[in-house]
Amino acid sequence: MSEAVVPTVTEAADAVASTGPFESVDQVIETLREQGYIADTRLATTVFLLTRLDKPLLLEGPAGVGKTELAKMLAVATGRRLLRLQCYEGQDETKALYEWDYGKQLMYTQILREKIGQLVEDAPDLASAVDRIGSQESVFFSERFLAPRPLLEAIRSEQPVVLLIDEVDRADEALEAVLLETLGEFQISVPEIGTFVAEQRPYVLLTSNNTRDLAAALKRRCLHLFLDYPSASRELEIVRSKKTGLSDQLAEELVNVVRGLRELELRKSPSISETIDWARTLAVLGVDELNSQILSDTVSVVVKYDKDVKKALDALPRLVDPNAVVTEHGHGHGHGHGHGHDGDHDHDEPAARTPSAPAARVDDDHDDGDVDGRAKRAAKDQAGRHGGIYGGLPGGVAPPPSAIRKVSPGQGTRSFGGSRKRPV
């Protein structure tokens, strides 16, 4: 442990000129490729600067584009240990920096009870006893009882590490303030002990899925790169590098289908890792030709929300073959609930249906399969909708007004016994 020291201009220049694990951007590309990570020139350049400038790297972009994977592969490529801080809502500094091992402190207190008693046995009064115990506080608030969390562990590590601060946008803003000292000076202050300064500066990567804006102070301390979905050629190269078992031709077709799905207004677009999973799924099934039917049967591998599934099922025939038709798969409501009944819920519809009597239907605009009540009410208002029953003619044709037998008021009175007297 050592106190923080402000670097001189010469030291800063030496730090910039210091050599890292990579001699060039091309070497970064090649080394990461050997680990199965396909990086373009822009990403490789940023990684090269990360290793030369000793500055943290903030990677922003949609989920599943390889941000976390980059940190893992960088650790493997450089032979460094990976330390990961997974951020979440409500996280406080004790889970990120350090905390005191109170259980261990209590155990030592119990073991040393006799020694503590000897320390205060000849104290003339209570105040003197408290002073004697207080003078020994540093024994119980020392590194022996300090439980380091990922940030402090990365700073204290004697061996160089890669520190991944994953999904920092999920954490509260208070944690960002805690990170500033670590990201800016590569040090952490512990009030009871002092300041820990990194002897081996870690490679720090922060990832964000852009669920909220990060503080300008945090961004100012980092190199920044927005990592988006790759081009078609690069994504195809990634899929091929994973040895999914799918032929190159089918892999190319699949990548184009996935890119088409990403153009839809989905709640969550398919990630690169999900494209790889889909390729492996099709390979396991022994698919030798892509068609809308097999893709519809397996689309849940890449589309994970119910409304997205319906949009994907509607789009797949067009993405594969404009002339292909996807048949029903027993998905209740038409989008994969699998309730085992028709999507239109019309179990008791008449045998004959005419244009004047539209049957109740499922409104295709509603993803939850609700029955269109307006169509059902309109059907009930049609004359002769019951065929030859209740005044209708066979074939559902409404009878002419002259054919409807009129009921006189007297007949109604007699029918309901309006003039009948009760027996006395």
Domain containing 54 — which CATH number?
A: 3.40.50.300
Structural domain containing residue 120: 100-145
Closest CA to 239 of 270, 279, 271, 269: 279
The alpha-carbon radius of gyration of the chain (Å, integer) is 36
CB 250 within 8 A of CB 239: no
Which of 160, 195, 226 terminates a domain? The answer is: 226
Q: d(Cα 4, Cα 20) in Å, to the nearest integer?
A: 23
Tell me which range, 119-133, 382-396, 406-420, is most confidently predicted by mean pLDDT. 119-133
Phi, psi of 287 (to 5 degrees): -70, 130
pLDDT value of residue 398: 53
What are the tens digits of pLDDT across the range 202-222? 999 999 998 899 999 999 999
The yes-or-no verdict on residue 342 having pLDDT over 70 is: no
Does a structural domain hold residue 282? yes
Residues 217 and 172 in one domain: yes
288 and 179 in one domain?
no
How many other C-beta atoms can be found within 10 angstroms of the C-beta atom of residue 38? 20
Please choose, from the candidates 331, 349, 334, 352, the residue with its C-alpha nearest in 3D space to the C-alpha of residue 394.
352
The reported pTM is 0.65
Mean pLDDT of 358-370: 41
Residues 117 and 243 in one domain: no
Q: Is residue 373 part of a domain?
A: no
Specify whether the CB–CB gap between 218 and 180 falls below 8 A.
yes
Residue finishing a domain among 208, 226, 244: 226
> Would 141 be classed as within a structural domain?
yes
Tens-digit pLDDT profile for residues 76-130: 999 999 999 999 988 877 888 877 776 766 776 676 666 667 666 667 777 776 7
| Backbone φ, ψ for residue 106 (5° rounding) | -65, -40
Q: Are residues 161 and 298 in the same domain?
A: no
> What is the SS3 assignment for 58?
strand
Contact 49, 174 (CB under 8 A): no
CA 360 to chain centre: 38
96-122 residues labelled b (16+ CB within 10 A) or e (exposed)? bbbbeeeeeeeeeeeeeeeeeeeeeee
What's the number of domains the chain is made of? 3
